[in-house]
Structure 1
Amino acid sequence: MTIDELKKLPIVMLSMSRWDSPISSASWSLAQEFAKSQPVFYVDYPYTFLDYRREKDLPSVKMREKALLGKGSLTKELASNLWSITPPLMYPINWLPSGIGYNTCRKLNNKKLAASIEAALKIHGLNEFILWNSFNPIYLSSFKSYFKPAISIYHSRDAIGAINDYTKKHGVASEIEAIRNYDLAIGSSTKLASDLSILSGKDVHLFANGGNIELFAKAWKETGAVPEEMKHIPKPIIGYAGNVCQRQDYLLLEKIALEHRDKSLVFIGPREDHLHTDIQLEKYPNVYFLGPKKLQQLPDYLRYFDCAIIPFLRNDLTESIYPLKINEYLAAGQSVVTTNFSDDIAAFKEVIWLANNHGEFLKYLSDAIANQGHAIKEARWKASKNNSWEIRVQSFWELVKYQLKIN
């Protein structure tokens, strides 16, 4: 099969992120980009019977209920060339120790998942497909007894052993298994690709995250009303867009709130800070949490930031991160202040403020806020253009061509 023939095949993409997640993900962004030229079936991260019992009253579960219980359509058309697949409920098995019991139950789950994928494709009269596992090695790390895709891609997007105990328990071994079983393995950061190559004994190639460059460029190319939630927030605004989770340096964030009292610190995204720190940022009068927003809404908020921040710790997890938000921030024309948490973020040093310690970060905030203007915003946007998802997809096909020896 040639590259041109592969580019016409449907892509079946597994992920740990659902298509309607409150935060953007690389897998969902890639699915939308591929769907511009070929069919894509995005497989929802499976719900287990336990998930269903706990979450059955949530709108996101009610919307899927019939499919989860095997009583409704497996697929949902989300856009032109883009469908979701909702698998039936799976057995909750992560609590099991490694061994015969876990492996037997995992095979049962994989068989159910593979059957739902095949059934969904059959509905659409499709047989051949590309299998893309975007960082969900718990499912189908071994797939060859269930179906034979034209090519298979395993895509690692984080250091799975460093996220939390849940993902570490079975995720590390499953990811190595997936890398060895799939035709091509790719990693979203330099360190991640290198580490996984060593651990698996197989080449894992760099496939960096991209960004929806033209969407975020609306932040400076277009005008718009101040979002209602931001109208009462005093400027200047130091903003962060993304999950507030274990990656943040909470001591640094507290210092920002204290030492930049004349500025507002605004967070847009889901909050998990209470799980990772005793620091209560909401007690500071200049700190605002606006909750998660859809990707399409983010430019309207970034437009009114005076600078954007990536206040990550440097540890095993963050050293393996190429954050989506760096390309989104720059495409939005934002001045960016970030900690020096990885080699990949350091590669942007010419167009961002890269802080090696708290003192530098606090100083750079004022410098970044002062560094504005249309020409500067356009220059930042230009710096992000080569990192668009469109360019990433082009580079992916080049990688397939040379690594899998396909013409």
Structure 2
Amino acid sequence: MRKTLIILEKKQLFMEDFSNLTLDKVTIVMTSMSRWDGEFSSASWSLAKTFAQSQKVIYVDYPFTLLDYIKERKKPSVMARKKALIKGKESLKPLTQFSPFLYTLCPPLMLPINWLPPGFLYNSLSKWNDRRLAKSIRKAIKELGEENFIFFNSFNPLYLDRLPSKLKPLAFVYQSRDNIRALEPYLRKHGAGKEIEAVKNADLSLVTSRMLQKDLESLSGKKVAYFPNAADFDLFKTAYNEQVPPPKDLKDIPRPIIGYTGNICHRLDYDLIESICKANPDKSLVMVGPRNHQGHTNIDLDLIPNLYFTGPKKIEQLPQYLAHFQLLILPFLCNEVTKSIYPLKINEYLASGKPIVATPFSEDIKSFHPLISLETTAKKFNEAIKRELDTDSDQKAKSRYVEASNNTWKGRVKLFWELLTGSKTALAKKE
């Protein structure tokens, strides 16, 4: 009885400390499955940069394992991190090019354990990795002279789904951004179960799509908040209201241009992409992003004469491309993977004011109709491309632009604090 009273007393003091803090000034430690200098933009990185406009943010690189280091040690990105990975030195670095409050943390090398079957050995080594990662986070917090922080796990359940006892944030937030149960076997092998544990252990759980919200609430038995993706509106609106010079790699590509930006991966319908190129021989299809389609299609994309690839670009470069595309597409497959996606790029596309044609792959993308065209077959998709180009107008462009202005990362940060404050208040009442 006495022990229970002590625990409740400590929780009450914790809640009073939480409520007395100015939360939007507290340091945020964010982990994810991407690195700040990765090949394509991510929601976690965009959110981190937005938080960092007013408070310290430590963006934790997705950890390299010992096996990753052996395979990739000659890559410039790995060589630049060598001291941090091997010796744990120079792990915390300021990213002043983005914000005076933004830092990146490169953790030391982790053990490669994903190949292990579920069970005692995997669990033991996973906890070892977690303690190692948590120690590097505690060291970074101390280096910045901070004491209070919020731990925000943005879709990285393979690490820190349960926090070690020495890592004591004011709040533990977990965010799911994809249906890990439908992704590649590597991630879902351990990630599917660990994500449910993260949701159960978090003070606040967030999801970016309605389907994920339903799934995770059902699987975890806990309430999960809807927290959709957004766009850096101030960046992408330049494609709408400024005269932006064309990128050099678009110079010799025939107009009009149908554009796509993002990872060229397992989510895309390559039969549809081939159909678009064949049905529109007078147009060019330009895809901006890293090519990760190997093993996901038998079509030799390089043999399609009006299909062009630019390679990956930094997010700051994307508006320059959108400004010189006449129409934008989201040619996603409609399957278990995509039905839980709120695509990061939809609000980026809308901010440019350009017409958009997509497949109806998720409940979230359907919510943008009729601002965008949604078509289920290749024939109707190509008809929509022609129709959207023929009927586009300044009024339609402005409507798209205005919609994007309602879905900004600044707005999502405001929503985050409302959700977090509400969740802690509810927790205090429950206790």
Q: Same fold (TM over 0.5)?
A: yes
Q: What CA distance in whole angstroms lies between the structure 1 residues aligned with 2:56 and 2:25?
A: 8
- TM alignment of 1:339-350, pairs within 5 A: 339-350=359-370
Correspondence for 2:188 = 168
- TM alignment of 1:186-335, pairs within 5 A: 186-335=206-355
Identity %: 47
Q: Looking at CA atoms only, which structure, 1 or 2, has the larger radius of gyration?
A: 2
Q: What CA distance in whole angstroms lies between the structure 2 residues aligned with 1:11 and 1:127?
A: 11
Q: What CA distance in whole angstroms lies between the structure 2 residues aligned with 1:3 and 1:222?
A: 44
8 Å CA contact retained: 2:130, 2:164 = no
Q: Give, as a single letter, the amino acid of the residue that structure 1 aligns with 2:66.
A: F
Q: Give, as a single letter, the amino acid of the residue that structure 2 aligns with 1:10.
A: T
Quote the offset at 1:378 in angstroms.
2.4
Correspondence for 1:35 = 52
Q: What CA distance in whole angstroms lies between the structure 2 residues aligned with 1:77 and 1:204?
A: 33
Quote the offset at 1:313 in angstroms.
0.6
Correspondence for 2:422 = 402
8 Å CA contact retained: 2:88, 2:107 = no
Task: Tell me the secondary structure at the aligned position of residue 95 of structure 2.
Answer: strand
Correspondence for 1:73 = 90
Correspondence for 1:60 = 77
8 Å CA contact retained: 1:245, 1:273 = yes
Q: Deviations over 1:32-90 (max 9, x none)?
A: 01011111000000000000011111111111111111252120100210000100000
Quote the offset at 1:376 in angstroms.
3.2
Correspondence for 1:129 = 149
- Greater Cα offset, 210-219 or 368-377: 368-377
Q: What CA distance in whole angstroms lies between the structure 2 residues aligned with 1:391 and 1:81?
A: 19
Q: What CA distance in whole angstroms lies between the structure 2 residues aligned with 1:9 and 1:186?
A: 19
Correspondence for 2:12 = none
Q: Give, as a single letter, the amino acid of the residue that structure 1 aligns with 2:303.
A: K
Question: 378, 381, 389: which is aligned to 1:369?
Answer: 389
Question: 8, 29, 37: which is aligned to 1:12?
Answer: 29
Q: Give, as a single letter, the amino acid of the residue that structure 2 aligns with 1:42.
A: Y
Quote the offset at 1:5 in angstroms.
2.0
Task: Tell me the secondary structure at the aligned position of residue 340 of structure 1.
Answer: coil
8 Å CA contact retained: 1:23, 1:295 = yes
Q: Give, as a single letter, the amino acid of the residue that structure 2 aligns with 1:67.
A: A
Q: What CA distance in whole angstroms lies between the structure 2 residues aligned with 1:159 and 1:277?
A: 22
Structure 1 gap ranges (5+): none
Structure 2 gap ranges (5+): 1-17
Q: What CA distance in whole angstroms lies between the structure 1 residues aligned with 2:407 and 2:230?
A: 5
Q: Give, as a single letter, the amino acid of the residue that structure 2 aligns with 1:62.
A: M
Quote the offset at 1:373 in angstroms.
4.4
Correspondence for 1:26 = 43
Q: What CA distance in whole angstroms lies between the structure 2 residues aligned with 1:213 and 1:360?
A: 31
Quote the offset at 1:374 in angstroms.
4.0
8 Å CA contact retained: 1:237, 1:263 = yes
8 Å CA contact retained: 2:203, 2:423 = no
Q: What CA distance in whole angstroms lies between the structure 2 residues aligned with 1:71 and 1:177?
A: 29
Correspondence for 1:104 = 124
Correspondence for 1:381 = 401
TM-score between both structures, scaled by the size of structure 1: 0.98
Count of residues in correspondence between the two structures: 407
- TM alignment of 1:345-360, pairs within 5 A: 345-360=365-380
Q: Deviations over 1:358-400 (max 9, x none)?
A: 2211101112223444443222110111110011111111112
Question: 335, 338, 345: which is aligned to 2:358?
Answer: 338
8 Å CA contact retained: 2:131, 2:164 = no
